[in-house]
Amino acid sequence: MLFPHLSVPASRKPALRLPTLLSLAFVLCLLLLPVSLRAQSIRGAWTGPWENSFGQSGESSLNIDEDGDRVSGTWGDDRFHGHRKGNEVSFRIVGGLNGCADYEGRIVFYGGDAGRLTYEANNHCNEPHHYSGWQRLHRIDESEGGSFSGGIRGVWTGHWENSLGDQGDGRWEVNEENNGRVRGIWDGDPFEGHRDGNSVFFRVHRGQGGCINYEVTVTIFGRGNAARLVYEANNKCNSTRYSGSERLHLVN
């Protein structure tokens, strides 16, 4: 042997033992986990109970639309925009709660159908001016939202109110076409949008006489005959922003 000092007895040669294999498998799972989470869509309707740091509690809905790593939607009556990274979403709301509160929020999703939302809020109108809160979320699937094998269509009516103190009766006419595309008329204004699960997302440009742009989310509940519509409005004519909501039921 030319280099006897480099020889290693067979019994002392390194081998992959069971703990080593388990460690490698664990690391591999960690590396693959974010990929699988990124592949899962979070688009649609979510709901769950919430609490805040000064003792209030309740239940509210979260409607999400996603485009790549950008997300938007409605949380309660407020519109939000944010970004997704893996199974986490960070978002901001400016002028929420009828213009009084700004929110910084974070949502962590688990397993594709559950999540936890946390936030910090600054209220410019009332005390406490700074507070925090959390919400436990679960996805509303189509079995909760109704059967949509025939698509969403028909005439819906209901009562609406907005953050300016106005209220009245509304009408939503909708017809679903191929691939989830929807068209219709909302209180006299034509719209185009899309459906995902039991949620419909659409925009109205230059509505109400050419002055107002709307971002709208409609969530269908029950057996497909009840819905909640929420929106954010931007009035270009008088530089006013406001929000509103409407309870709808299918009449035809």
E-strand stretches of the chain: 44-52, 57-67, 70-75, 78-85, 88-95, 101-110, 114-123, 130-139, 153-162, 167-176, 181-186, 189-196, 199-206, 212-221, 226-235, 240-250
Better pLDDT: 141 or 3: 141
Which domain does 169 fall in, by range?
A: 144-250
Residue 151 CA to residue 154 CA, distance in Å, equals 10
- C-alpha to C-alpha distance for 122 and 128, rounded to whole angstroms: 8
Residues 63 and 100 in one domain: yes
Using alpha carbons, select from 71, 69, 93 the residue that is nearest to residue 82: 71
Residues 149 and 243 in one domain: yes
- Considering 120, 139, 158, which residue would you say is the last residue of a domain? 139
CATH number at residue 85: 2.40.128.20
Q: Are residues 50 and 67 in the same domain?
A: yes
- Residues 132, 201: one domain? no
Of 59 and 131, more confident: 131
pLDDT in tens, 71-127: 988 887 788 999 999 999 999 999 888 888 999 999 999 877 788 999 999 998 887
Question: 127 and 195 share a domain?
Answer: no
- The model's pTM: 0.49
Residue-wise pLDDT tens digits, 30-84: 444 443 444 578 888 787 788 899 888 877 788 888 888 999 888 877 889 999 9
153 shares its domain with 224: yes
- Indicate the pairing of strand 167-176 with strand 181-186: antiparallel
Q: Of 139, 161, 178, which residue is a domain's last?
A: 139
Buried/exposed code over 198-227 (b: 16+ C-beta within 10 A; e: otherwise): bbbbbebeebeeeebebbbbbbbbeebebb
Domain end position, chosen among 89, 115, 139: 139
